[in-house]
Structure 1
């Protein structure tokens, strides 16, 4: 059973998927830091606030003695927009990678056509000629 599992785990496709998963997780961190550190501040300038702090307050909260707001109910659309931008960046990069890979692949040449054998009529003619002899 252990031998079978080892053979299964070492198949090329499974190892490729594992490598892609690790690289995807690392790429996600890069995109998140890019969005949070570069894109969000630029968009924040447009809204004149921190992009991640954008929210629509449904029910305002109460400020306690420590200066913290408690009981606030809000829609955090800034965080959603940041995640949406992350997704669009990742999807675009993956599209470009796949497009590049498809361009580098060799176009498969069609298999050479097998020579067509004699038709049924030709075979019948050959049989007739052989029977005449």
Structure 2
């Protein structure tokens, strides 16, 4: 069981995933700060000085904090869009990488054909 766990835990994909989670957490904090400290105040300014972090209303004893919900929604869309762009860039890079080995294989086939032609010409003479 220990050997199986070591194979699983030390595979490149698992380590890559762990690194991605850590970087994603830090990236989430950056985006949250961007939204809370820059974007939302600018939107509030454009809408007549509304402070989204304090935007709320009460229903009975419950306090509905709609402003914080709006900030979280903007956070989500920015993070989702950023991840979309990253994955799109990564997939393009990966496709280019996959095309290069295919070109090398074709070169090998061409070389084999040229060798065959050369050998046939040698036999003729």
**TM-score w.r.t. length of structure 2:** 0.70
Q: In 2, Cα distance between the equivalents of 1:91 and 1:56?
A: 29
Q: In 2, Cα distance between the equivalents of 1:44 and 1:12?
A: 45
Aligned pairs for 1:54-69 within 5 A:
54-59=55-60
Q: In 2, Cα distance between the equivalents of 1:14 and 1:81?
A: 34
Question: What runs of 5+ residues in structure 1 fail to find an aligned partner?
Answer: 60-71, 113-133
Q: In 2, Cα distance between the equivalents of 1:57 and 1:43?
A: 23
Q: In 1, Cα distance between the equivalents of 2:44 and 2:92?
A: 38
Question: What runs of 5+ residues in structure 2 fail to find an aligned partner?
Answer: 107-125
| RMSD of aligned Cα (Å) | 2.1
Aligned length: 100
Structure 1 residue ranges, 4+ long, deviating more than 4 angstroms after superposition:
none
Q: Which has the larger radius of gyration?
A: 1
Which digits, 9 at most, give the CA deviation of each residue in 1:28-73, with x for residues without a partner?
00001111110121122224232111112223xxxxxxxxxxxx42
Q: Which residue of 2 aligns with 1:52?
A: 53
